[in-house]
Amino acid sequence: MDEQIPDTFFNGRITVFQPASGYRFSLDAVILADAAARSKAFRAADIGTGCGILPIVMAYRNPEIAVIHGIEIQEELAALARKNVSVNHMDFRIPIHTKDIKQVTTRDLDGPVDLIACNPPHYEARAGRINPASQKAIARHEITLTLDGLVSAASRLLVSGGRLLVIYPASRLIDICWNMRNTGIEPKWIRFIHSAPDRAARRVLVKGVKDGGTGAAVARPLYVAGEDGRYTPEMKAMFNP
């Protein structure tokens, strides 16, 4: 295992170890975790949990979520996620599964879940330069998890009326919406994320509902930084206890 470096969040209330040179989570995970924690759910799952940051923040932010399954195909990252879950005393709420999502069933999760959150690979396997570090390559490119595979798995694991929440490149909004609808998950809520007010959206949050009716709401944009280059109050709040 690569050297691990601890980071603290929420004024030291959460500690998360990350690989020194392997895949490290980005601001996307912070934004997704905040949105997921605001979703009403009793049982949830995170596909491609990495170091476990998403379920840990969700569990900290929302005590009403009884269990959040972390699913990770890479053994080293799954082991790291278990370490982080244990360090934060959340073993009873966050089981980590080392398994390919294509093989995960509702039996593995003790039944279907109400919410699935995911920060999936953003680029097709044939798009752009693939990072030689396998952890980063698998996290960024559709090597082990394609968009179709993600949405199909979510449809299989969600209860009827359950939600899939994804953060994705804004340029691939049509791809994620088409894949959702094609597997019986209707896109219902969309929020564009801008690095600053004068910049085009680079990311988008999309929430779909399994067996949901047609009609989507577009939320006001999220601006990461203001005109002064500093985090906006909404963004700052995501780091506060």
Which candidate, 108, 135, 122, places its Cα nearest to that of 45? 108
pLDDT at residue 87, as a whole number? 97
pLDDT at residue 3, as a whole number? 79
The secondary structure of the chain, three-state, reads CCCEEEEEECCCCEEEEEECCCCCCCHHHHHHHHHHHCCCCCEEEEECCCCCHHHHHHHHHCCCCCEEEEEECCHHHHHHHHHHHHHCCCCCCCCEEECCHHHCCCCCCCCCEEEEEECCCCECCCCCCCCCCHHHHHHHECCCCCHHHHHHHHHHHEEEEEEEEEEEEHHHHHHHHHHHHHCCEEEEEEEEEECCCCCCCCEEEEEEEECCCCCCEECCCEECECCCCCECHHHHHCCCC
pLDDT at 206 > cutoff 70 = yes
pLDDT at residue 24, as a whole number? 75
Percentage of the chain beyond pLDDT 90 is 83
pLDDT digits (tens, 9 = 90+) for 160-190: 999 999 999 999 999 999 999 999 999 999 9
Residue 184 and residue 61: Cα distance in Å, rounded? 29
pLDDT at 132 > cutoff 50 = no
pLDDT at residue 127, as a whole number? 45
Q: How many CB atoms lie within 10 A of CB 97?
A: 19
Percentage of the chain beyond pLDDT 70 is 89
How would you class 153 by CB atoms within 10 Å of its CB: exposed for 0-12, middle for 13-18, buried for 19 or more? buried
Residue 89 and residue 69: Cα distance in Å, rounded? 15
For the chain, which residues make up each domain, given as ranges? 4-237
Distance of CA 195 to the CA centre of its chain: 19
Residue scoring higher pLDDT (146 or 93): 93
pLDDT at 17 > cutoff 50 = yes
pLDDT digits (tens, 9 = 90+) for 62-73: 999 999 999 999
Spatial contact of 94 and 56, defined as CB atoms under 8 Å apart: yes
Least confident piece of the model among 140-154, 175-189, 207-221: 140-154
pLDDT at residue 123, as a whole number? 59
pLDDT at 125 > cutoff 60 = no
Pick the CATH number of 4-237 from 2.30.30.100, 3.40.50.150, 3.40.47.10, 3.40.50.300: 3.40.50.150
Query: What amino acid occupies position 136?
Result: K
pLDDT at residue 138, as a whole number? 41
Q: Which residues, other chains included, contact 23 with Cβ-Cβ below 8 Å and sequence gap of 6+?
A: 50, 77, 133, 135, 136, 138, 139
pLDDT at residue 142, as a whole number? 45
